């Protein structure tokens, strides 16, 4: 038997004996895994399929098993994953007649997925809360909360009734108290409360009954025996699979001899001409961006594949460096003509993120490109990429889990704000990958360059040339009392004779320098392959600024409106002031020509300054491009991407004010403006020298 924590010596026999030793291991652990399977499935054929596919996947992924968790926990995670895949394949579950379920399993079937997982793994499989938390990728406290809600749900399903009125602030203590792990001060407080609270006594008593039932499950479930021929049937299926695999390999070997001769010839050509790598990737990789990385030996080509509910995901390649980790993928809908993309902020999860990745690192966003030639070739295939945080080691394996994809269609830009695509809903599934990555080196160059933007000093101090991006590091001075730069926009960066475009979707993140008067920013540009800087120039485009300009206007709902006041060189109108619940204030300024501000920073106060605790704003506005052309997006669709450096002017502000605490009428008394935002256009080419 393999111990809970296995070392390299104990796993070696499994690798040597191949799939047979994995079957032996399952034979020794079949009872606990069979009971785990019964919690999810109700038929021996379904159970056999679950074991069969789990053994195949364990065998396939065994070389990647790491000893940061127990072997049994690792196998359990695969077992649960395979069950979920099978549950999405309704055709499989419908092929066999469902056998009658025991009452306990019927109750389990009524739980939410996360509740069922936590309850089954803790009480049926007998895992510790720490192991369950690791497997389900949540905190131990979160597991306790899920177990609590799961037991509450089981209590209803097991006939205890839906109505219990225990005090909610003590719910979090139930499990720790019954397991005798509640710390002493909290335990004393809880028991004092129980003594005086009849509702909590009844609530805890019924909760305890269900929890004791769960704790005694291992003994109760011993009567559920694994069928005698269960393992033998699995061995027969696996032997047949191996027989077919060997036949296929023989055919591939024959074909391989022919290609090998051509390959050797091409290798010889490459030795003398250096042309083979370009020719090879031109033949085999249609994604031009990935191809460029591969041709410069900056990435790893992969062919990992997983399928769920008819949607197949292939991981085509990765590029990892100090900046980020790029993952190139292909998604194929095998059932319909649909295209799906990944959103790395929704439905994409790195299981071992805390172990392998820099939690503070950059993670970019890349919108779908439906206009590329490769994404126009097939209606059911989409090629894309996602950005993950940079890895914190020289090499490793990213455990990527995907639970949701977004369906996308090409769309008229006029109907979709200029984006050229629409998100048409989600595709739920379960795709799992173990992606090997190797971090490629980056080169940093110290810079010396300064400029001023609207009188505010800006200095450039470093250039990072990484495989996935070129990063410009710069600092902005914060000493000016009445204005500051919120964001500096660039057109391009020129290194020697090469220009690289700014990444419009890369966020500019910042941190405070040791000198508190400066803030450090980074801006990302397209990659520079193998370029050694001699000259560095940067083209500025615009700056977003905040101006402090304090002004107070008294309001009186008993007076007639509109009334006007002067601010920042403009005449602003207060069109309406109404007391009520909610109160209403409307402010407008339609004169945008030569207007200094775009949006205002303000607050509205009532007679009691603490009375207003809810303020909702509704705005109207226009866009004006660099040449003064105005676009009213409230009247006509606007292709935002096609407007040259647009400025967004708010023309009407409708404000509703409420007192949610007392429900009393609000009477607006004062409009207090603190400052405003504005964009300033720039056309400066800054020459930067290397230190």
pLDDT digits (tens, 9 = 90+) for 570-621: 999 999 999 988 889 999 999 998 899 999 988 888 877 665 667 778 888 8
Pairwise pLDDT comparison (247 vs 71), residue with the higher score = 71
Query: For the CA atoms of 411, 416, 422, 425, what is the dihedral angle to 10 degrees?
Result: -140
Q: What angle do CA 181, 182, 188 make, to 5 degrees?
A: 140
Task: Output phi, psi for 470, to 5 deg.
Answer: -110, 125
Position 224 confidence tier, pLDDT thresholds 50, 70, 90: low
Ranking 16-20, 83-87, 538-542, 679-683 by mean pLDDT, the lowest is 16-20
What are 437's two structure tokens?
């990555």
Instruction: Quote the pTM value.
Output: 0.58
Residue of 306, 318, 274, 233 whose CA lies nearest to 60: 306
Q: In this model, does residue 15 exceed pLDDT 60?
A: no
Tally Cβ neighbours within 10 Å of residue 524: 26
**CA 427 and chain centroid, separation:** 15
pLDDT of the residue at 202: 84
The sign one gets for the Cα dihedral 301, 303, 304, 307 is positive
Mean pLDDT of all residues belonging to the chain: 80
Beta-bridge partners for 422: 409
Q: Say how far apart CA 227 and CA 30 lie, in whole Å.
A: 10
H or E segment and range at residue 567: strand 563-567
* Stretch 152-164: mean pLDDT: 76
Residue reference for tokens 């394949």: 89
In this predicted model, what pLDDT tens digit does every residue of 529-549 receive, in sequence order?
878 899 999 999 999 899 999
**CA 266 and chain centroid, separation:** 42
pLDDT of the residue at 286: 79
Q: Say how far apart CA 592 and CA 91 lie, in whole Å.
A: 62
* Stretch 365-380: mean pLDDT: 86
Q: In this model, does residue 131 exceed pLDDT 70?
A: yes
**CA 279 and chain centroid, separation:** 36
Pairwise pLDDT comparison (390 vs 4), residue with the higher score = 390
pLDDT of the residue at 641: 66
* Stretch 251-277: mean pLDDT: 48
% pLDDT > 70, the chain:
80
pLDDT of the residue at 6: 36
Q: In this model, does residue 12 exceed pLDDT 70?
A: no
Q: Say how far apart CA 255 and CA 638 lie, in whole Å.
A: 57
Q: Say how far apart CA 33 and CA 41 lie, in whole Å.
A: 12
Helices (H), 89-216: 90-94, 103-109, 113-119, 129-136, 140-157, 174-178, 184-196, 198-215
* Stretch 654-676: mean pLDDT: 85
Residue of 200, 100, 98, 213 whose CA lies nearest to 155: 213
Q: What angle do CA 235, 240, 246 make, to 5 degrees?
A: 125
H or E segment and range at residue 78: helix 71-88
* Stretch 502-530: mean pLDDT: 76
Pairwise pLDDT comparison (410 vs 337), residue with the higher score = 337
Position 418 confidence tier, pLDDT thresholds 50, 70, 90: very low
Q: What is the DSSP secondary-structure string of 332-356? A: EESSSS-EEE-BTTBSEEETTHHHH
Ranking 239-253, 266-280, 381-395, 409-423 by mean pLDDT, the lowest is 266-280
Q: Say how far apart CA 28 and CA 560 lie, in whole Å.
A: 87
Task: Name 222's Cβ contacts closer than 8 Å, sequence gap at least 6.
Answer: none
What are 618's two structure tokens?
């509704």
Rg over alpha carbons for the chain, rounded to the nearest Å, is 32
Helix (H, G, I), strand (E, B) or coil at 648: strand
pLDDT of the residue at 1: 30
H or E segment and range at residue 60: helix 44-61
Cis upstream peptide for 562 (omega within 30°): yes
Task: Output phi, psi for 374, to 5 deg.
Answer: -70, -25
Query: For the CA atoms of 345, 351, 354, 359, what is the dihedral angle to 10 degrees?
Result: -10
Q: Hey, what CATH class is 443-546+683-690 in?
A: mainly beta
Q: Does domain 285-438 have CATH number 2.60.40.1630?
A: yes
The answer to whether the CB of 327 falls within 8 A of the CB of 318 is yes
């Amino acid at each position: 038997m393999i111990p809970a924590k296995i070392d390299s010596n104990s796993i070696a026999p499994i690798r040597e004996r191949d799939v047979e030793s994995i079957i032996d291991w399952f034979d020794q652990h079949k009872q606990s895994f069979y009971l785990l399977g019964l919690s999810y499935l109700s038929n021996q054929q379904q159970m056999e399929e679950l074991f069969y596919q789990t053994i195949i996947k364990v065998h396939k992924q065994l070389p990647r098993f790491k000893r940061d968790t127990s072997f049994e926990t690792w196998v359990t995670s695969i077992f649960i994953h395979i069950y979920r895949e099978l549950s999405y394949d309704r055709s499989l579950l419908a092929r066999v007649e469902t056998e009658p379920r025991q009452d306990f399993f019927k109750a389990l079937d009524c739980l939410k997925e996360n509740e069922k997982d936590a309850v089954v793994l803790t009480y049926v499989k007998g895992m510790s809360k720490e192991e369950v938390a690791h497997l389900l990728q949540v905190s131990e406290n979160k597991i306790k909360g899920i177990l609590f809600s799961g037991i509450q749900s089981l209590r209803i399903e097991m006939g205890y009734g839906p109505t219990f009125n225990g005090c909610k602030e003590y719910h979090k203590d139930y499990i720790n108290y019954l397991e005798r792990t509640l710390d002493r001060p909290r335990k004393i407080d809880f028991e004092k409360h129980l003594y005086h609270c009849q509702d909590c006594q009844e609530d805890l008593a019924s909760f305890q009954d269900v929890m004791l039932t769960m704790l005694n499950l291992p003994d109760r479930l011993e009567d559920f025996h694994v069928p005698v021929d269960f393992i033998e049937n699995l061995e027969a299926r696996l032997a047949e699979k191996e027989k077919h695999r060997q036949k296929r390999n023989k055919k591939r070997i024959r074909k391989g001899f022919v290609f090998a001769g051509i390959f050797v010839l091409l290798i010889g050509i490459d030795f003398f001409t250096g042309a083979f790598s370009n020719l090879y990737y031109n033949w085999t990789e249609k994604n031009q961006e990935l191809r460029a990385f591969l041709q410069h030996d900056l990435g790893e080509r992969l062919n990992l594949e997983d399928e769920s509910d008819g949607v197949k995901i292939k991981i085509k390649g990765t590029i990892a460096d100090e900046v980020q980790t790029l993952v190139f993928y292909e998604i194929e809908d095998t059932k319909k003509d649909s295209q799906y993309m990944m959103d790395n902020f929704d439905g994409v999860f790195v299981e071992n993120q805390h172990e392998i990745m820099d939690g503070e690192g950059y993670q970019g966003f890349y919108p779908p490109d439906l206009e590329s030639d490769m994404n126009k070739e097939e209606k059911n295939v989409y090629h894309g990429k996602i950005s993950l945080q940079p890895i914190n080691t020289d090499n490793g394996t990213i455990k990527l889990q995907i639970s949701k994809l977004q369906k996308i269609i090409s769309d008229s830009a006029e109907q979709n704000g200029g984006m050229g695509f629409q998100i048409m809903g989600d595709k739920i599934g379960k795709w799992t990958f173990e992606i090997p990555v190797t971090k490629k080196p980056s080169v940093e160059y110290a810079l010396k360059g300064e400029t001023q933007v609207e009188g505010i000093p800006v200095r450039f101090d470093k250039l990072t040339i990484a495989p996935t991006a070129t990063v410009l590091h710069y600092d902005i001075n914060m000493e000016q009392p009445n204005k500051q730069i919120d964001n500096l926009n660039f057109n391009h960066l020129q290194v020697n004779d090469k220009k690289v475009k700014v990444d419009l979707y890369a966020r500019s993140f910042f941190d405070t320098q040791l000198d508190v008067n400066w803030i450090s920013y980074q801006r990302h540009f397209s990659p520079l392959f193998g370029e050694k800087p001699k000259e560095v120039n940067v083209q500025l485009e615009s700056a977003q600024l905040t101006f402090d300009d304090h002004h107070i206007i008294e309001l009186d709902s008993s007076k007639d409106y509109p009334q006007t006041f002067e601010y920042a060189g403009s005449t602003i109108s207060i069109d309406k002031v109404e007391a009520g619940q909610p109160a209403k204030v409307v402010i407008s300024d339609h004169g945008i020509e030569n207007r200094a501000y775009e949006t205002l920073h303000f607050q509205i106060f009532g007679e009691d300054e603490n009375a207003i605790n809810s303020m909702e704003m509704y705005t109207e506005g226009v866009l004006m491009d660099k040449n003064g052309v105005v676009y009213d997006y409230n009247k006509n669709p606007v292709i935002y991407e096609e407007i040259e450096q647009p400025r967004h002017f708010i023309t009407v502000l409708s404000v509703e004010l409420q007192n949610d605490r007392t429900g009393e009428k609000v009477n607006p008394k004062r409009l207090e403006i603190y400052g405003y935002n504005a964009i300033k256009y720039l056309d400066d080419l800054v020459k930067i020298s290397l230190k």
